[in-house]
Amino acid sequence: MADPMRIRANLAGEETTVRVLMAHVMETGQRKTPAGETIPAHYITDVQATHNGKPVLQAAWSTAVSQNPFLSFKFKGAAKGDKVVVKWTDNKGESRTDEATVA
């Protein structure tokens, strides 16, 4: 299983800013080893975020995203103490789900 995501959710006025750092190799499938063998593709394909169980973000990613991707987004309607859950799924069927409390 992948390392935990680092998630911060901060409320400022009516907007909550969520910052997420994901640990993932994000391999494109185009690089080769020194021996000339292709390194298999392994990348995040879907990212979802929910606030108290309601969707606030849905993203479809591909090989164009860098290793250990950083994601930042804003939404309205949160209060301090609410939960924000972020989940990613990759092209090999692996997934990771982590949560943060709005501060």
Distance CA 46, CA 95 (A): 9
pLDDT tens digits, residue range 7-57?
Answer: 999 999 999 999 999 999 999 999 999 999 999 999 999 999 999 999 999
52-62 per-position pLDDT tens digit: 999 999 999 99
> Among residues 45, 44, 49, 47, which one has the least CA distance to residue 18?
49
**Number of helices (H), then strands (E), in the chain:** 0, 7
- Is 65 inside a domain boundary? yes
Task: Compute the distance between CA of residue 18 and CA of residue 13 in angstroms, rounded to an integer.
Answer: 14
1 in any annotated domain? no
Q: What is the CATH number of the domain that holds 86?
A: 2.60.40.10
Q: Which domain holds residue 50?
A: 6-101
Give how many domains the chain has, as a whole number: 1
Tell me if 15 is assigned to some domain: yes
